[in-house]
Amino acid sequence: MDDFLARALLGGVGVALAAGPLGAFIVWRRMAYFGDTLAHSGLLGIVLGTVLNLNLQLGVAITCLVVALVLVLLQRQRRLATDTLLGILAHTTLSLGLVALAFLETVRVDLTAYLFGDILAIGPIDLYWIWGGALLALGALAGLWRPLLAITVHEELAQVEGVPVFPVRLAFMLLVAIVIAVAMKVVGILLITSLLIIPAAAARRFARSPEGMALLASGLGCAAVGLGLWASLRWDTPAGPSVVLAAAFLFVLSSVIPGRSWR
């Protein structure tokens, strides 16, 4: 196997492993649009990272986190529904990123790579970032698992039982921001949500426990990465979208496979 292909596979698998359990929570908590909004702000993070001469992934993670905090603050006023706020934030930050990019005359940025991913260009240093971020996110999620599951089932009940709801929710947002930052290289900011929610959705029918669904989502995500890369080579299609299509294919397959689901 060529080096670049091995790196692509390794990077994709790293992202898929972390995206599975986190995506399961995004599905359970009905936060798909939230993930999408954070991802949209990723481009702004790229620009900030470039201007401030930061690592780009760090720039994206910080920007995502700030957007998440802004959302939490905006939710305190109750005039506008959350999905409206998300829509405003998503497209404002994406446009802000595009406009800010235009001011960076000295920097040439391959916009397509950031919007749709450039998995075949993953370098050795990218791999460190991806695996470092993914392992960090998985480890933190394991520690957070029980309280996070409790507030996902019923927030106020969990609070009465002693779960520190706000810190747990904040920590979860931070993890989503980290995973988005590391997944950007693989599928791009416009497609990240799909890697979070499609494997989790495909896993639902076969899972009998939250942990089972999370693990299965990771597995299906890895399979989608492998399948997508293979298809991309075979038919010379763009790699990021091919991975997403592979995930969608697995989802359709999981829906039509005969057999009884649990529930």
Partner 1 sequence: MVESLLTAESIGLTIRGNPILHNVNLRVAAGEIVALIGPNGAGKSTLVRVLLGLLRPDSGRVWSRPGLRIGYMPQRLALDNTLPLSVQRFVTLGTPAARARVQAVLAEVGAAHVLDSPVQAISGGELQRVILARALLREPDLLVLDEPIQGVDLNGQYELYDLIGGLRRTHGCGILMVSHELHLVMATTDHVLCLNRHVCCSGHPDHVARDPAYLDLFGIDGARRLAVYHHHHNHHHDLHGAVVPDFPRSSASAGEGGHRPPVEQDRG
* Contacting positions for partner 1 (CB under 8 A): 27-30, 78, 146, 149-150, 152-154, 156-162, 200-201, 204, 207-210, 212-213, 262-263
The nearer residue to partner 1, 213 or 229, going by C-beta atoms, is 213
**Closest separation in Å from C-beta 20 to partner 1:** 14
CA distance 64 to 102: 21
The nearer residue to partner 1, 28 or 33, going by C-beta atoms, is 28
**Closest separation in Å from C-beta 63 to partner 1:** 29
**Closest separation in Å from C-beta 200 to partner 1:** 8
The nearer residue to partner 1, 22 or 27, going by C-beta atoms, is 27
Q: In 3D, which of 33, 50, 49 has the Cα closest to residue 89?
A: 33
The nearer residue to partner 1, 198 or 229, going by C-beta atoms, is 198
Q: In 3D, which of 82, 81, 79 has the Cα closest to residue 37?
A: 82
Contact 183, 192 (CB under 8 A): yes
214 Cβ contact list (under 8 Å, min separation 6): 20, 21, 24, 200, 203
The nearer residue to partner 1, 63 or 152, going by C-beta atoms, is 152
**Closest separation in Å from C-beta 263 to partner 1:** 4
Q: Which residue has the tokens 């960076």?
A: 104
User: Could you give the C-alpha distances from 132 to 55, 117, 181, in angstroms and in order?
Assistant: 14, 19, 12
**Closest separation in Å from C-beta 163 to partner 1:** 8
